[in-house]
Chains A and B, each alone.
Chain A
Amino acid sequence: MTDPAAGIVVPQASDQDGAAVQRQAGNGGPAAGRAAAAQAVAATAVEAYPRIVAALIRITGDWTLAEDCTQEALARALARWPVDGVPANPAGWLMAVARNRLLDVLRRASVERRKLRDVAVLALTAATEEPVPDEEVVDDRLRLIFTCCHPALSPQARVALTLRTICAVPTADIARAFLVSESTMTRRLTRAKTRIAEAGIPYRVPRGHALTERLPGVLGVLYLLFTQGYDADGEPAFAEEAIRLARLLVRLMPEQPEATALLALFLLQHSRRAARRDADGDLVPLDRQDRSSWDRAAIAEGVRLIARLPEHGPYAWQARIALCHATAASAEQTDWRRIADCYDHLLLLQPTPVVALNRAVAHGCAYGPEVGLSLLAEARSGGRLDGYPLALAVEADLLERQGDRDRAAVLFRAAADRVPGEAERRALLNRARSG
Chain B
Amino acid sequence: MSVEPPVLTSQPKGTDVKYMMLVCTDTEPDPEPSNHPDVEVWVAENDAAGRRLQGAQLAPASAATTVRVRNGQLLVSDGPFAEVKEMIVGFDLLECADLDEAIEVARAHPMAWAGRIELRPFAEFEQ
Contacts and interface: CB of A to CB of B under 8 A. Distances in A.
Interface stretch (B11-19, B39-47, B59-67, B73-81): B11-19
A204 B3 contact: no
A204 B103 CA distance: 14
Interface in A192-207: 197-207
- Chain B interface category by residue count: 20 to 34
Interface of A: 114, 135-136, 139, 142, 150, 152, 197-208, 210-211, 252-255
Contacts of A253: 6
A142 B2 CA distance: 16
A254 B99 contact: no
B121 A254 contact: no
B8 A205 contact: yes
Contacts of B9: 139, 204
B124 A198 contact: yes
B104 A204 contact: no
A200 B12 contact: no
* 5 pairs of A and B residues whose beta carbons are closest in the complex: A202-B98, A200-B17, A200-B99, A200-B98, A201-B99
B5 A207 contact: yes
Contact of B98 (A136, A139, A201): A201
A142 B103 CA distance: 21
Contacts of B12: 114
B1 A202 contact: no
A354 to B, nearest CB: 23
B10 to A, nearest CB: 8
Given A200-B19, A205-B6, 9 more contacts: A139-B8, A152-B103, A198-B123, A199-B99, A202-B11, A202-B99, A204-B8, A208-B5, A210-B104
A197 B124 contact: yes
A352 to B, nearest CB: 19
B100 A210 contact: yes
Given A200-B99, A202-B98, A202-B100, A254 B6 contact: no
B102 interface: yes
Contact of A255 (B3, B7, B11): B3
B97 interface: yes
24 contacts: A135-B7, A152-B99, A152-B103, A198-B123, A198-B124, A199-B99, A200-B17, A200-B96, A200-B98, A200-B99, A201-B98, A201-B100, A204-B8, A204-B10, A204-B11, A204-B100, A205-B8, A206-B100, A207-B6, A207-B8, A210-B104, A211-B5, A254-B1, A255-B1
Nearest to B120: A199
Interface of B: 1-3, 5-12, 17, 19, 96-100, 102-104, 119, 121, 123-124
Nearest to B3: A255
Nearest to A140: B9
Contact of B6 (A114, A197, A203, A252): A252
Contacts of A135: 7
B75 to A, nearest CB: 32
B121 A200 contact: yes
Contacts of A252: 6
A203 B97 CA distance: 11
Contacts of B3: 255
Contacts of A200: 17, 19, 96, 98-99, 102, 121
A139 to B, nearest CB: 5
B41 to A, nearest CB: 19
A263 to B, nearest CB: 15
Contacts of B104: 210
A47 B2 CA distance: 23
Contacts of B17: 200
B16 to A, nearest CB: 9
Nearest to B127: A112
Contacts of B7: 135-136, 139
A197 to B, nearest CB: 7
Nearest to A209: B104
Nearest to B97: A202
A433 to B, nearest CB: 47
Given A114-B12, A135-B7, A205-B8, A255 B2 contact: yes
Given A206-B100, A254-B1, A198 B121 contact: yes
A150 B99 CA distance: 10
A109 to B, nearest CB: 11
Contacts of B100: 201-202, 204, 206, 210
A204 B98 CA distance: 10
Nearest to B100: A202
A142 B5 contact: no
B8 to A, nearest CB: 6
Contacts of A201: 98-100
Contacts of A208: 5
B6 A199 contact: no
A149 to B, nearest CB: 13
